[in-house]
Structure 1
Amino acid sequence: MHTDLSAHLHTPACNKLIEELQACHKNNGFGKFLGVCNSIDDKVVKCLKKERIARSAANRAKARERQAKYKEQLLQGEAN
């Protein structure tokens, strides 16, 4: 099961793979259950994982900046 595959949530590279997977599923009605589209699906999973890892790293960096800012404000407040 994949996360939401809406185009606005993903990079152009992942969107291309998602479109290929959806086309494969559409063109292989029964074959999709037999693994015809598994190679494309594996590529989609890897791309989505790469996006998730990058998004997590960006969120951690933002959190560190925010925590440093609040800590600085707290220390300035104690000094006054």
Structure 2
Amino acid sequence: MSVFIVPTEMHPPLTLHRHPMCAEIIEEFQKCHTDHPIAKFFGKCTDLKIKLDKCFRQEKAMKRKVNFEESKKFKEKLDAYKKEMEDKVQID
């Protein structure tokens, strides 16, 4: 019988102000680690870790989408400004 362990990366720092979307899960995860100092090494908090990872992925996807939209708007403004400056230089 073989056991497959899915490698996971370390989560980012668990600061509530940086992850408001995941704050409730972070608190549960930290409480689990506090309440079960030894059992945490044997999978006691694994379910919460999986929920936390999913929440972080959702949060990252949402931030990525917002940042992409902002960058598109910025690029449009920049292109308009460049066009305006080009036209101004040609007139002079």
State TM-score, norm by structure 1: 0.93
**Structure 2 runs not aligned, ≥5 long:** 1-9
AA of the residue aligned to 2:54: K
Question: Which has the bigger relative contact order, CA under 8 A and spacing at least 6?
Answer: 1
Aligned-partner Cα distance in 2 for 1:6–1:29: 20
Residue 10 (structure 1) shift: 1.2
Alignment RMSD (CA, Å): 0.9
Q: CA deviation at 1:14?
A: 1.0
- One-letter identity of the residue aligned with 2:75: Q
Sequence identity, in percent?
29
* Matched position secondary structure for 2:37: coil
Post-superposition offset of 1:79: 1.3
Aligned residues: 79
Instruction: Choose which of 8, 12, 21 in structure 1 pairs with 2:17.
Output: 8
The answer as to 2:57 corresponding to 1:57 is no
TM-score by length of 2: 0.81
- Write out per-residue CA displacement over residues 9-57 of structure 1, whole angstroms, 9 at most, x where no aligned residue: 112x511100100111111111100001000110011011111111111
